[in-house]
Every structure is written in structure tokens, then in C-alpha cells.
Structure 1
Amino acid sequence: MGTNAVVGSGPVGLERLSRRTLLASAAATVTAPAVAQERYPDRPIRLLVPWTAGSSSDVQMRSLAEVAQQSLGQPVVIENRPGASGTLHAQALAAARPDGYTLGQMHLSVVRRPFLVRQPLWNTVTDYTHILRLCGWMYGVAVKADSPHRDWRDFIARARASPGRLTFATSGIATTNHLAMEELAEREGAQLTHVPYRGSSEGMTAVLSGQVDCIADSSVWVPQVEAGQMRALCVWTADRVPRLPSVPTLKELGHDMVITSPYGLSGPKGMDPAVVRVLHDAFKAALFSPANAAVRGQFDMPEQYLDTEQYTDFIAKRAEHERTMVQRLGIKLD
């Protein structure tokens, strides 16, 4: 009987053990993401900003990082990587581990660049995890206060009279502001000479020192206008800017153009959706915080939030738009 009991109980014991093991294994599988989620982040997060320190975008991203790190519980460390028209960071971001500890600013120059070169180093649609869209820039054209160009019409008249003589600074070749200025000149029947810099602040300094005639860039130059050191010729927003009530929009100047170049936050492809949600929620809260709203107001940067799904869709559609635009203008970097 004892032998029979041992033999007979063996399969039953194994069956019970097997069921317990399976249940334990299933429970571990179900709870693993939650456990991983609770641990993220457990060290500082690196945020790549492709502009010089002190530029409008840099100040905005630093503000977001400062607010977001309070809820994340870990520092968000800004790493400036200016150059290549704001795309110097893109390859490093695409190649980083998709663990949520390397993020980067995603903007339209990164979307556009693959269509400007013969051998693209990344595909903006497939090589990144797009987390959320944040806001845009207030662009415009400004000259030094003592410039002979009193307004936009005067500037264009002089440009038509001396093709290629007048110069404009931007934050880089094939940036949104560069292409928009080229299109504006084409519409106006004028020829301008582009002088690219590594960031908006450098372009503004070049205007103030008399190296170039004007800057066509984001609103880093607005404080200089308010201080009387520069004069704005036009803004590229849908409506006039409250801080510059006398400055006309492109629409008022006869051009059906509104240029804000919205940007967002992305990481490498293949990020855990649970980690993406943590980052989305933290940076969305930071975007709508009073502290960040004050910074956006300082630079007249319109809030243009999109969630993860919406932003991913926007990038796919915008990539097709950029490809078409680059082909139409015939611009190539190599």
C-alpha cells in the first residue's frame, strides 16, 4: 500500500507543482511591467538639445526638464549638441538604448534632413519613439535699430534693387526659417544671401555687430527689439504678437503663410510603452505648468500639444510634406 501510495501520489504531486509553477510564472509575467514601471526612472535622464545654451529652445527645454524631474524623481540633464542645423544629435538619439534614459528634442529639421542628403543617416518615421508634441516658435525678421531698412517693404525694395547683396542670418542651413525666408524672397521677386549660424543667439549677435543685415529666426531677438537695439520687420504667426503690436504678419503683407515649426520630445525606437507613458505624463504636466507657461510667454512660443499617438501620426504625415517641399525647392546638402 505504501508503495502504491508513493507511486500513485507522484503524478498528483507533479501536477500540483506544475500548476503552481505555471500560476507563479504567469503572475510574474503580468506583474513584471508594473515592477519595471515602479523602478523607472532610477537614474538621471539625458535630454539632448540641438541648440546653443541660452537660445529660446534651450531655455524652454530646460524649463520643461526642471519641472518634469520633480515628478520623475530623477534629474533630467540637458546636453547641448548644436550644429548641423539642429540635427547633430539625431543620429546619437536614434542609436541610443531604448531604455528611456536618452531623449531628444524632435523638430522639423530632423524630419526634413533625410530628404536633403544622398545617404540619410536616419528615418524619422521608423527610427524613433515619438513621445509628445510640445510647442512651436514665434518666427520673424528683425534688423539692427539703426538699419536703413525701416520696414519689410523697404527691405524688399532694396533687395530687388541689389540682388544678393542683402544678407540674412538663421540658425542653420535647411532649417524651417531658412526655407521660409527663401520662399518669401522668391514670392517677393528678390534675391537674398543666407548666412547660417549654429543657433539663434549667434545670429542675433551677428546682426547687432553689423555682420549681417537681418535675422530670420525665432524670437530670441524680441528682447532686443523691446530694448530699442533692434527693429522687427514682420512676424510669421497667424496673428500679431501682443509684445509687438505694431509689427505686421506675413498675411498682412500679402502672403498666405503661417510658420511656427512645432517640435516635441522623442527617444530611440522600441521604447517600452509603459516608460513612454511615464515620460509623456511628466512632460505634459511640465508643458502646462505655470513655470513653463511663463517661459513660453517670454519667447511667444505657442503651445501645440499632441499626445503620443497623435504626434506619431503627425511626424509620418509631416515627413511626406517635407519630402515634397524639398523636391520642389531643389535644395540638397551634398
Structure 2
Amino acid sequence: MNQPSTPNPRRSLLLLAAAATLAPLGLAHADNYPSKPVTLIVPWPAGGSTDRHLRALSELASKHLGQQIIIDNKPGGGGTLGPGTMALTAKPDGYTIAQFPLGMLRIPHMQKTQWDPLKDFTFIIGVSGYTFGFTVRADSPYKSFNDYIEAARKAPGQLNYGSTGTGSSPHLLMEELAGNAKVQLTHVPFKGNADLQQALLGGHVMAQSDASGWDKFVDGGQMRLLVTFGEERTKRWPNVPTAKELGYGIVATSPYGLVGPKGMDPAVVKALHDAYKKAMDDPKHIELLEQLNQAMWYRNGEDYRKWAVETYAKDKQLIERLGLAAK
């Protein structure tokens, strides 16, 4: 009769060592994450509204994460250079993350990129979006947005508006709206917000579609805000209707969030998500959003990725219709 084998202590230790060697490196790493500062790439110049927002939010998040979050400004490529470079060069260890502006889901339809906006990123958290609005000069004959659209219907192509560039959110939302309203508008692109404001004030364009850089001119009485493009009316301009409630079927806030390179450990993603979620709920952050005329746009990583997949497909159709697609 065979005797039951007795455990071999040396063999057991070897098996344990082998198992540890074969264990996923990411899971082992997650146990002590973060053990050093985290870098957040902001793909815009320092001092702008997005930089100001993410800098303050990251300062709050660092307290919950237990490590400093360092802001690295890498502007260029319409906000795509920073996150695109991260996707190609950074390790997926949670120590380099980036803002993911909406342009990341549009530029690949308009030109070839070395990165894929869906396959090459780990989606961490959705954070906020912008308040877009359509303004005219205070002495404009158009007292309401419907006045402007009706005038365009009577004179196809003769009414114009300016935006901060071809393919930008303010441009594409107006083109989509014009398609829904079955009117033809003439788009005038500008290099930036300051040029656009001066062009409208100087009477060089009839109207403008832009994020809330017009706020001081509206509050100061030089411009009239005809419509905003959020889900609901803004707290700051509660008398101004949304495009949605006027029946134009457009909601646009150009949402953004935070991403890392593909292949990040889920435990590391959760640590970053939880720290930023707590920071988002902080009264200091909520107060800052009100100052910036921005709304909260919280999405967990899974929901943020689902939104990105849907938006990527939707914007492809829009860009093709407008003739902006890569040849």
C-alpha cells in the first residue's frame, strides 16, 4: 500500500517563488501605488480656463491620492499632441495621465494619426465640459435665435457666423444645427477667441458660436446671448433658452476627462478615479466650475469609454457630411 507523500518544504518554496515571478507585474505594482508623484499632461497653454480647472482639481485630488499631481502643459495639434504622445511613449503604470479633449475623437477622421483614440487609451474618469453659446452684437436686428434662423431660411448662405476654427466644437455644432434646421449658413473661421470677439464687436461677422469667452461682453451689454447648447439652461443666464428646448436637437458641451495609456492595471485606474471623483465633489471645485461657466460631467471609466465609442462614430458621419474627412 502506497504511503501518502509528505510535503517537500523546499519544493513548496520553489513553487511559491515561481508563482510570484509569473504574477502580473501590474497587480504587484498596484499594491503600493502611488509611490511617487503623478504627471497630468494638459494639452493647452498655461493660464487658460482648462489649465486653470485641471490644475485646481488635481491639487484637490492629490490630497486623496497621497502623492503630488504635477501639471505638464503640452499644447499643440488642437489639444491632441499631448495625449497622443503619451499614448505612444508613456508606460501604463499610472504615473503619466492626460486630459482627453473632444478633438481626440475628431482629428483622426480629418487626418492620419499614429494613435487610435479608442484602442490606445485607458479611460479613467469624465470630468467637465464647456458652455457654448451663440451671440450677436447688442444692436443686431436678431432679437432671438429663431429670428436669426428664419432670416437664414429666407436668404440661404447670406447670413454668416464666426467660430474659433474649422472642425472646432463651436463650428461643428452649428453645422449640425443648420442641417437639422435645413438652413444654409456661411462659416467664418478665426484663429482664436480674442480675434473672434473683436470681429463681432467690429461688425465683421453677424454672429459668433463659441465657448463662454463672450461672457463679459454679454454681462457688459455689448453682446446679446441668443442660445446656449447645454442639457439645461445656465445658472448665470437663466433667461436664455437652450437649442434643445427650441427644438433644434443639439446638445454640445465638448466634454473632457482623464485617460492613461492602454493596458493600465484596474486597481491603479480605480485609485486615480476615486481621488479625482472626491476632488470633483469638493465645494472648492464646484465653486470653480461656476466661475468658469462649466458644468460637472462625471462618468466612470466604463461609461466614459462607451460615450467615446458612440461619439467617435457620430462625429465621423458629421465630419464626412461637412467634407472635412481625410482623403
Task: Give the TM-score taking structure 2 as reference length.
Answer: 0.83
Question: For the pair shown, which has the larger CA radius of gyration, 1 or 2?
Answer: 1
Once the two structures are superposed, residues 200-236 of structure 1 have per-residue CA deviations (whole angstroms, 9 ceiling, x without a partner) of 5664466557665543222233244223343312111
Deviation at 1:49, TM superposition (A): 2.0
Once the two structures are superposed, residues 167-200 of structure 1 have per-residue CA deviations (whole angstroms, 9 ceiling, x without a partner) of 4122x431222211122344352322231435x5
Q: Could you tell me which residue of structure 2 aligns to residue 8 of structure 1?
A: none
Q: Distance in 2 between matches of 1:203 and 1:39?
A: 49
Q: Could you tell me which residue of structure 2 aligns to residue 45 of structure 1?
A: 38
Distance 1:79 1:197, change over 3 A: farther
Q: Could you tell me which residue of structure 2 aligns to residue 90 of structure 1?
A: 83
Residue 277 of structure 1 aligns with an amino acid whose one-letter code is K
Question: Is the CA contact 2:26–2:93 (under 8 Å) kept in the aligned structure 1?
Answer: no
Task: Give the TM-score taking structure 1 as reference length.
Answer: 0.81
1:251 aligns with 2:244: yes
1:21 aligns with 2:21: no
Distance 1:120 1:248, change over 3 A: same
Q: Could you tell me which residue of structure 2 aligns to residue 308 of structure 1?
A: 301
Give SS of 1:115's match. Answer: helix
1:267 is aligned, of 260, 266, 274, to: 260
Question: Is the CA contact 1:56–1:218 (under 8 Å) kept in the aligned structure 2?
Answer: no
1:1-334 alignment, distance < 5 Å: 15-23=8-16, 26=19, 36-97=29-90, 98-117=92-111, 119-145=112-138, 150-156=143-149, 161=155, 163=157, 166-170=160-164, 172-186=165-179, 187=181, 189-197=183-191, 200=193, 203-204=196-197, 207=200, 213-332=206-325
Question: Is the CA contact 2:45–2:73 (under 8 Å) kept in the aligned structure 1?
Answer: yes
Q: Distance in 2 between matches of 1:64 and 1:203?
A: 29
Q: Distance in 2 between matches of 1:74 and 1:202?
A: 40
Give SS of 1:89's match. Answer: helix
Deviation at 1:128, TM superposition (A): 0.6
Deviation at 1:61, TM superposition (A): 1.5
Q: Distance in 2 between matches of 1:138 and 1:237?
A: 7
RMSD over aligned CA atoms reads 3.1
Deviation at 1:34, TM superposition (A): 6.8
Once the two structures are superposed, residues 6-58 of structure 1 have per-residue CA deviations (whole angstroms, 9 ceiling, x without a partner) of xxxxxx99x32221233355468779767633543333322222334444333
Identical amino acids, percent of aligned pairs? 37
Once the two structures are superposed, residues 73-130 of structure 1 have per-residue CA deviations (whole angstroms, 9 ceiling, x without a partner) of 333222333343322323212113222222111132211221222x332211101111
Deviation at 1:330, TM superposition (A): 2.7
Distance 1:26 1:49, change over 3 A: same
Q: Distance in 1 between matches of 2:19 and 2:230?
A: 54
Give SS of 2:264's match. Answer: coil
Question: Is the CA contact 2:171–2:187 (under 8 Å) kept in the aligned structure 1?
Answer: no
Any unmatched runs of 5+ in structure 1?
1-11
Question: Is the CA contact 2:232–2:242 (under 8 Å) kept in the aligned structure 1?
Answer: yes
Give SS of 1:92's match. Answer: helix
Deviation at 1:142, TM superposition (A): 2.3
Residue 134 of structure 1 aligns with an amino acid whose one-letter code is V
Q: Distance in 2 between matches of 1:39 and 1:206?
A: 54
